[in-house]
């Protein structure tokens, strides 16, 4: 009589939100605290450790936003009034106090002289040739304050202009420079070790033997980490042996904040990553209710966090954006979570949704709607280049053409 084996019940799938909460909690204890001072020139993409306060008023003095003539509004009671030009003030030159009944020729950015309370743009004036600097005919009746940027109207001395935790964008660097910050105190970059496992993997340029594939995930994950502002330790391709995998993990854990791998975390005879991590540290294997990207491993090796992504390239790509990028934000203490989805129109039908939450590769079209890449397989890497975003589609929800869907732009997911 044959004996029937009863399989162990499967653990329920984790929701993505629950997985992100666990990841955030696990990463919080590893939050970076070490800082360094860097030149504002070289701080793009870094995360501020200390707030930036203004050293001065911006602008530092009343100045003109137009080329024209600085004058007293009360001196031009009617259009066509003429005033002698008493001085010429280019940007960078401090003029003399303006005498009543005169005007100053002035250029954009120059300080408005004491006594003037308005600027009339040159297009509304006519220069009159005469002795000295001549005169000006003002063809409009000006209002006091027009075209004058007041001292401190943008920033006052002592104001906080950038807060700790802000990621430094090009415009943030411009703002820091505008208030006199030559250097900025930032958190050090996260150090991430990445390697691939699999004897079937070869590098581009090497002969592609039968059964071999080029290692696309190595390039993709390295690029994603660099775009996220990380220092990357690339350990290459590790042979499919337990001893080699354990040695790679020990090397990766030395001085790294995070170890990142793709594929190999299963129970197959040639999948040594799972027993290696368990031997060197701790590991949780999660099944996430999302598509693509169902399997995800999270744990620790030494003092470093460990994350194992699915091996299929699209699954690895999407899981990085949705799971690894938030962990990197927590490590850096950056403000905010992921980007908020945009409500946009679907220009496609999706009649057979999955029971899991789906992330569909789409592209914004000229009409402001979203087109769907025709092949949503997790192995079709061309879809990630064609697409400029993902539709975050709830589990079991069909989409009909014209429906409003939640759109996540790839550029904000990759670089935020």
Per-residue pLDDT of 183-198, as tens digits, reads 999 999 999 999 988 7
Per-residue pLDDT of 252-296, as tens digits, reads 999 899 999 988 765 554 578 889 999 999 998 889 999 999 889
pLDDT value, residue 93: 94
Per-residue pLDDT of 318-347, as tens digits, reads 999 999 999 999 998 876 567 889 999 999
3 state DSSP class of 129: coil
What is the residue-averaged pLDDT of the chain? 92
User: How many residues make up the chain in this entry?
Assistant: 416
Task: Establish if 392 belongs to a structural domain.
Answer: yes
pLDDT value, residue 8: 44
Quote the number of domains for the chain: 4
Task: Establish if 3 belongs to a structural domain.
Answer: no
- CA 202 to CA 397: how far, in whole Å? 40
Predicted structure pTM score = 0.83
Residues 40 and 180 in one domain: yes
Give the CATH number, domain containing residue 270: 3.40.980.10
Taking Cα atoms as reference points, which of 272, 212, 223 lies closest to residue 245? 272
Taking Cα atoms as reference points, which of 264, 278, 136, 115 lies closest to residue 201? 264
Give the CATH number, domain containing residue 171: 3.90.105.10
Give the CATH number, domain containing residue 376: 2.40.340.10
Residues 222 and 289 in one domain: yes
Q: Say which range, 23-27, 276-280, 341-345, 369-373, has the weakest mean pLDDT.
A: 23-27
Residues facing 300 on adjacent strands:
282, 305
Share of the chain above pLDDT 70, in %: 94
pLDDT value, residue 10: 60
Residues of the domain holding 99: 63-149
pLDDT value, residue 212: 85
Residues 180 and 273 in one domain: no
């Amino acid at each position: 009589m044959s004996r029937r084996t009863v399989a162990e019940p499967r653990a329920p799938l984790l929701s993505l939100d629950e997985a992100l909460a666990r990841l955030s909690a696990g990463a919080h204890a590893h939050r970076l605290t070490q800082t360094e001072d860097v030149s504002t020139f070289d701080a793009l993409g870094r995360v501020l450790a200390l707030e930036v306060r203004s050293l001065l008023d911006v602008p530092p003095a009343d100045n003109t936003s137009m080329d024209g003539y600085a004058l007293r509004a009360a001196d031009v009671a009617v259009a066509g009034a003429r005033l002698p030009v008493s001085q010429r003030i280019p940007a960078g030159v401090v003029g003399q106090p303006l005498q009543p009944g005169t005007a100053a020729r002035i250029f954009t950015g120059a300080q408005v002289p004491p006594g003037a309370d308005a600027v009339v743009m040159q297009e509304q004036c006519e220069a009159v040739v005469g002795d000295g600097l001549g005169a000006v005919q003002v063809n409009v009746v000006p209002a006091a304050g027009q075209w004058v940027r007041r001292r401190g109207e943008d920033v006052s001395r002592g104001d906080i202009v950038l807060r700790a935790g802000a990621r430094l964008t090009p415009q943030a660097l411009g703002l820091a420079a505008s208030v006199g910050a030559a250097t900025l105190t930032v958190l050090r970059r996260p150090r991430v070790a990445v390697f691939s496992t699999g004897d079937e993997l070869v590098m581009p340029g090497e002969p592609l033997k039968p059964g071999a594939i080029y290692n696309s995930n190595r390039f993709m994950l390295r690029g994603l980490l660099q775009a996220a502002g990380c220092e990357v330790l690339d350990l290459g391709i590790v042979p499919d042996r337990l001893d080699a995998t354990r040695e790679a993990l020990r090397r990766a854990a030395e001085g790294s904040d995070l170890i990142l791998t793709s594929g190999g975390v299963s129970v197959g005879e040639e999948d040594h990553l799972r027993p290696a991590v368990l031997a060197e540290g701790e590991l949780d294997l999660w099944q996430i209710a999302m598509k693509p990207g169902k399997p995800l491993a999270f744990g620790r090796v030494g003092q470093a966090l460990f994350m194992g992504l699915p091996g299929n390239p699209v699954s690895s790509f999407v899981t990085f954006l949705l799971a690894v990028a938030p962990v990197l934000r927590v490590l850096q203490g950056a403000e905010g979570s992921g980007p908020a989805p945009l409500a946009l129109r679907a220009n496609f039908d999706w009649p057979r949704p999955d029971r899991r939450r789906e992330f569909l590769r789409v592209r914004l079209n000229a009409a402001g709607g979203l087109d769907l890449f025709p092949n949503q397989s997790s192995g079709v890497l061309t879809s990630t280049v064609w697409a400029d975003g993902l539709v975050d589609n709830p589990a079991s929800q069909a989409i009909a053409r014209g429906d409003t869907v939640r759109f996540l732009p790839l550029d904000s997911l990759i670089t935020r």
